[in-house]
Amino acid sequence: MHPRVSIFVCGVQKGGTTSLHAHFCEHPDLLAPRRKEIHFFDAEHFDWTTPDYALLHGIFPPDSGARQRFDITPIYGFWPPSIARIRDYNPYAKLIYLFRDPFQRAWSQWCMRFARREESLPFAVAIRDGRRRMDGLPPLALERRGHSYVERGFYGAQVRRALVHFPRENILFLRSQDFWHDHRTTLGRIADFLSIAPFPDTGPKRDYVRPDAAWPSPPTEADRLLFADFLHDDLSDFAALTGLDISEWPTFR
């Protein structure tokens, strides 16, 4: 019988999860899947009344079972059914979230999608009229994954959903900037949370850095204010729930 996956890094997209994955792969107590983002618990083509967990377990290499298995798929925190599905699979799992300022996160998401030719609208349009592309779509429509530049920033709602399904002691909330500026301290907190040995000190990771380019429609102060207006109440709730200091975030200040 395969050991259950016990660690889930649930977000956020463009918040440093690729770099965190690199650190996890170096830890002798952790077993990495064959690919970084498994996308099992956000898969809408599965029959979730009788999920086939063998598909999930088959993504991991053979192992004695001594190492903890982890799944780093950033959309889990945002995709509405994912956390409940993880709970049904393993109610004792531990969840880790890396949160980045929503405005900066959205710009990075747009740059990634624009570079991949998945987005044709300028950033300023994508976060305004572009949101209408989701009007009338089913709640779990594929388009809600890509066009959700603003929607992914409702962190308070994501935290509340996690706390409905898991006890607080099973969730670790972190800030992306702390991971980037002082990776040793952040990795130390993660090791304590997972009850594992300290991570090997192999230096900081920046496994995805946005390339310099003449991006069309670079973010403006008006764009920042749009995010600040939309998300202010939710982010206030987020800060109260997590205890994280977000006073320096451009979206909140």
Q: What is the pTM of this model?
A: 0.95
Of the listed ranges 58-67, 95-104, 200-209, the least confidently predicted one is 200-209
Q: Return the structure tokens found at 67.
A: 């190492």
Average pLDDT, the chain: 94
Residues 127/148, Cβ–Cβ less than 8 Å = no
**Could you give the residue ranges of the DSSP H alpha helices within 27-181?**
53-57, 82-89, 102-115, 123-126, 143-146, 155-165, 176-181
1 inside domain: no
How far apart are the C-alpha atoms of 81 and 48, rounded to whole Å? Answer: 10
Residues 123/130, Cβ–Cβ less than 8 Å = no
208 inside domain: yes
Residue 205 has a pLDDT of 80
In the predicted model, is pLDDT for residue 1 greater than 60? no
97-127 burial string, b = 16+ CB within 10 Å, else e? bbbbbbbbbbbbbbbebbeeeebebbbbebb
How far apart are the C-alpha atoms of 70 and 35, rounded to whole Å? Answer: 11
Number of domains into which the chain is organized:
1
The residue with tokens 């890396």 is 98
102 inside domain: yes
| Domain with 129 in it | 7-242
114 inside domain: yes
Largest Cα–Cα distance of the chain, in whole Å?
Answer: 55
146 inside domain: yes
248 inside domain: no
Which residues, at least 6 apart from 7, have a Cβ–Cβ distance to it below 8 Å? 30, 68, 69, 70, 71, 93, 94, 96, 194
pLDDT category at 73 given cuts 50, 70, 90 is: very high
186 inside domain: yes
CATH number of the structural domain spanning residue 72: 3.40.50.300
Element (H, E) at 30: strand 30-31
How far apart are the C-alpha atoms of 171 and 193, rounded to whole Å? Answer: 9
168 inside domain: yes
Number of H helices, E strands in the chain: 10, 5
Q: Pick the closest to residue 13 from 80, 89, 78 (CA basis).
A: 78
Q: What's the rounded mean pLDDT across residues 111-119?
A: 92
Q: What's the rounded mean pLDDT across residues 66-77?
A: 97
pLDDT category at 208 given cuts 50, 70, 90 is: low
